[in-house]
Structure 1
Amino acid sequence: MPVLLVLLLAVVAEITVMVTVGNLIGILPTILLLIAATVLGGALLRREGTKAFAALQDAVFARRAPERELVDGMLIAGAGFLVILPGFISDVLAILLLLPPTRAVIRRWVTRRAEIAVANRQRHTIVVDSFVVDPDDRPQPTIVIPESRREGE
């Protein structure tokens, strides 16, 4: 439920900002500004995405863990999603994710959060003590022959 509430608040905020900007500068300039922000964001996305992919390849070829490059790729993908959404707030957030200095700050924050989450998960590991029973080791059923059918009597 909190995610739905955040999404609803984000939509309301985007609409409020678009209406406010539309009232200040007019409808046509607002639409042109939204288009320009999308084009600029798309160009930045293409450039930074290509750089991030090249950095990921370099890390893999150098045989080192590409954690930095993977987080950058994730942040750039998030920026791509935000660029697609119409609105000024999402465009500003996307551009912040695409700029290397702000992305570095966000990358460090995301990396710290991931390390904490992994440490917490390892601390709460549940071990169930059990043993395996091989089906061939189970006792075989005993066949009881009634006394009247026994041979030799």
Structure 2
Amino acid sequence: MAVVFLLYVIAEVAAVWAVGSAVGVLGTIGLLLAGAFVGSWLARREGGKAMRAFVETARAGRPAEKELTDGMLVALGGVLIMLPGFVSDVIGLLLLLPPTRSVARKIWLRRAEKRAIRFANQRRGPVMVVDSEVVTEDHPPPPRSSQPPIIEGRVIEG
């Protein structure tokens, strides 16, 4: 992770240096400020859209992982745009635009699903899902019957 951060800092310095040598110091500062203003406006607009989509989906009672991930990616894009530098501005802009955000969302959800499965396997051993029932090595799947199961137990009143 430290290597990635170091490479990011080197890329930012190189980008600012290249733009500064092409347009000058004042032009570079102007571009950085313009990127921050345009990016914050775009982040606010896209964040509002993501929030409205989340509220609409929640009211309809549907799963909202797409809308939550969109909101998270918009927030991350807004933070990246507010950081000084051209590399972070480009990455933040890509996260704010809907077509590229959908690609990032698919990658993010696929990665989160793999990590969740890996975490579950580390915590309780290999897990397999059979007909919406979790099956582990310790607990084989229950036998199937046409009758609904009878649940016995005590009722505790208090």
With the shorter chain as reference, the TM-score category is 0.7 to 0.9
- Considering only aligned residues, what root-mean-square deviation do their CA atoms show, in Å? 1.5
Alignment correspondent of 2:28:
30
Residue ranges of structure 1 left out of the alignment (5+ in a row)? 130-153
Please tell me the residue identity of whatever aligns with 2:82: I
Query: What TM-score, normalized by structure 1, do the two folds share?
Result: 0.78
Equivalences for residues 45-124 of structure 1 within 5 A: 45-124=43-122
Shift of 1:101: 0.2
Is residue 38 of structure 2 the alignment partner of residue 40 of structure 1? yes
What SS is found at the alignment partner of 1:124?
helix
Query: What TM-score, normalized by structure 2, do the two folds share?
Result: 0.75
What SS is found at the alignment partner of 1:125?
helix
Structure showing greater radius of gyration is 1
- Structure (1/2) with the larger strand percentage: 2
Shift of 1:9: 1.9
Which structure is higher in RCO with an 8 Å CA cutoff and minimum separation 6? 1
- Structure (1/2) with the larger helix percentage: 1
* CA–CA separation in structure 2 for the residues paired with 1:98 and 1:65: 22
Residue ranges of structure 2 left out of the alignment (5+ in a row)? 126-137, 139-158
Aligned residues: 126
